[in-house]
Amino acid sequence: MTGKKPTKGLTKGNAPRALKVRVKTAKKRTLSSTLWLQRQLNDPYVHAAKKEGFRSRAAYKLAEMDDKFHFLKAGGRVVDLGAAPGGWCQIAVERVKALEGRGEKQGRVIGVDILDMEPMPGATIMKLDFLSEGADDEVKKILGGEADVVLSDMAAHATGHRQTDHLKIMALCEAAAQFATEVLTEGGTYCAKVLRGGTESELLTMLKQHFRNVRHVKPAASRADSAEMYVLAQGFRKQSVDSE
């Protein structure tokens, strides 16, 4: 995957058409599992990810956001929180040139997740519960300096209760945002998953205080019926944190 021209995000206009596959409900499969399987089999991004060698369809979400907002640059240092199975890391490795770059043009990618991840050329993989005590310090130690981009695609197990799920994912988003303000370099970028309804006002206020541009983004690769979207904060103002 690496070493090729950076992958462009698919859009609704150029996404490949998948065959319409219907799945029958098996005795040991619930209706929800059947519907999930049917959706996977008919998802053009799932097909494209398999064809292009990406570990997940989520790779296209990051690719699309970067195509538009240009925050993954050659030589960049990226921390990817909630990285498993590694689709975002693959895009980051390509675009910051973590493998083929030289000198200042060679980037670095650190992927962090509580789940096991297969090794990835060009990325440092850490198995770690980011919400555990001292976890942020462990990541900082491996990073060994400032980061240009902090990504968070962390997600908690869904309970089915909308407000509970919203609170859980916001806790992850807030932890990632706090970490970002501690490690980002001047002008850096923070991007994190939130749920429909957007970012809580308190966190949004904090992001607007520390970043020049804050927006919500819904990539085409994010399923239309999904409540997920992303908050993208660019132009980190390091002085705003140092003066606190």
Domain map (residue ranges) of the chain: 12-42, 55-242
**pLDDT score at 14:** 54
State the catalytic residues: 193
Mean pLDDT of 8-19: 51
- Give 192-243 pLDDT, tens digit per residue: 998 766 667 889 999 999 999 999 999 988 867 777 889 999 999 998 777 6
pLDDT of 61 > 70? The answer is yes
Q: Rg of the chain's alpha carbons, rounded to an integer?
A: 18
- 36 token code pair: 């999930």
Question: What's the mean per-residue pLDDT of the chain?
Answer: 82
Mean pLDDT within 172-188: 96
Token pair of 161 as six digits: 């209760």
Identify the pLDDT of residue 41: 44
pLDDT of 103: 82
pLDDT at 29: 56
Name the pTM for this structure.
0.81
State residue 93's pLDDT score. Answer: 97
More confident position, 102 or 9 = 102
159/58: higher pLDDT: 58
What mean pLDDT is predicted for residues 59-63?
93
Name the pLDDT band for 37 (thresholds 50, 70, 90). very low
CA 103, distance to chain mean position in Å, is 26
Q: Is the pLDDT of residue 23 over 60?
A: no
Cα(47)–Cα(5) distance, integer angstroms? 20
Beta bridge partners of 151: 80, 191
Distance CA 88, CA 189 (A): 15
∠ CA 204-67-189, rounded to 5°: 35
Domain 55-242 has CATH 3.40.50.150: yes
